Structure 1
């Protein structure tokens, strides 16, 4: 499959404004994410942004950037605009959306996101990791995957929730917000209106499930640090400085 890695980046974060350009070990955070994408070795890596300063910083470090509109409601809308601009002839078959605030992500798990596509009926693929800390099981900021096990390392997603689910004995899985789309699935997804469960849980991926699309999750071992707060940023600096 022809694969394009797209990294959406916007400056208007409410909790950490300007975070794509936050310095980590001598480079902007968004550049670290682009490096991890390149290390995955899947194909072309492009940052999709609405801010010239972000595009300039990315290009100054040898990576590609594309400008997108500033009024997108979600990262998936931004990457679809970028895809349309970058690949008008529709040669790209698979798009990997890597969040721009994951500077410590292991490049191996970016590649792992494509494994569910061995099953032709999978529309969207994503990642999960088993929750080991009890406090995360009840934390609404930790999104959980509720799914049917297909193998030791894969779930077919039935639901995503901020609640503690499923009930009863057994593992709980933390959803890692990295998505791989078949091109037709991304085109269909961005054309859908926000769904009722999506609005209630504030989880965009529920729109796809409510529309009958299939999402499978590859279970990986490492959980990347998402940088949402100043404390997260300091932790990322410590990790990448070492």
Structure 2
């Protein structure tokens, strides 16, 4: 089974433009993320896939591997799908470019899903983290996920799901971490299928898989890391790096 990692990277970002080129402990965020992914030693290859000459040159000048997108893309999955279409691979793991604290344990759990899936019932796998803070549960920037008894995703939402009509039930809430592992066929299907209304409404790309009947296995992890979405996140990351 050939397994690679793709790191989709845009220079533009609505909340923090140019965030991937910001300094984190003497290197850019995107280089830190690339190096952390390579350092896991889990992959046959690791690439940054980008539409930015700046990011392409940043990675290659540090000895890394980068691919320039040929088309404009609305999301990271589309960017990855274009890049892997003609590659001889089985599994591709999407590591977000703004996650410089990417670590081996969580990614290894995703790979194990496919190693243990002899019937090929899983189309993709992703990570979730148990959250208890009410502000985070109600924050629309935090994507929540609910799962069935076998940890297959039922739905993702920016709203608190499930709604706590009976607060005494003691239901657990899970935050979705945007790290995905795809079978090659699944991500190519995503690329070819049009966006439907639920994905368009929530602006959560993995909903497209559910709308077309794909099965997403969720894996719980306790490692949250730091996503660089704001200047405040970058300050926090630099303090942690030191």
SS of 2:56's equivalent in the other structure is helix
Where does structure 1 lack aligned partners over 5 or more consecutive residues?
none
Q: TM-score, normalised by structure 1?
A: 0.92
Count of residue pairs the alignment pairs up:
233
1:82-161 matches, cutoff 5 A: 82-84=83-85, 88=86, 90-117=87-114, 118-119=116-117, 120-150=120-150, 155-161=151-157
Contact 1:116–1:217 under 8 Å retained in 2: no
Residue in structure 2 matched with residue 2 of structure 1 by the alignment: 2
Listed one character per residue, the Cα deviations across residues 178-228 of structure 1 (whole Å, up to 9, x for unaligned) are 111001111111111011110111111111101000001110011121111
Contact 2:152–2:218 under 8 Å retained in 1: yes
SS of 2:6's equivalent in the other structure is strand
Q: Distance in 1 between matches of 2:62 and 2:214?
A: 38
SS of 1:14's equivalent in the other structure is coil
Listed one character per residue, the Cα deviations across residues 41-95 of structure 1 (whole Å, up to 9, x for unaligned) are 12211000111221111122221111113621110111112213xxx3x421000
Residue in structure 1 matched with residue 178 of structure 2 by the alignment: 177
Q: Distance in 2 between matches of 1:169 and 1:177?
A: 26
SS of 1:180's equivalent in the other structure is strand
SS of 1:114's equivalent in the other structure is helix
CA shift, 1:134, in A, is 2.4
Task: Name which of 160, 164, 175 aligns with 2:160.
Answer: 164
CA shift, 1:229, in A, is 0.9
Where does structure 2 lack aligned partners over 5 or more consecutive residues?
none
SS of 1:54's equivalent in the other structure is helix
SS of 2:96's equivalent in the other structure is coil
SS of 1:203's equivalent in the other structure is coil
Contact 1:115–1:218 under 8 Å retained in 2: no
Residue in structure 1 matched with residue 193 of structure 2 by the alignment: 192
RMSD across aligned positions (CA) = 1.3
SS of 1:149's equivalent in the other structure is coil
Residue in structure 1 matched with residue 67 of structure 2 by the alignment: 66
Contact 2:37–2:103 under 8 Å retained in 1: no
Q: Distance in 2 between matches of 1:139 and 1:17?
A: 22
Q: Distance in 2 between matches of 1:3 and 1:98?
A: 13
Further displaced range: 20-29 or 35-44: 35-44
SS of 2:149's equivalent in the other structure is strand
SS of 1:125's equivalent in the other structure is strand
Contact 2:78–2:190 under 8 Å retained in 1: no
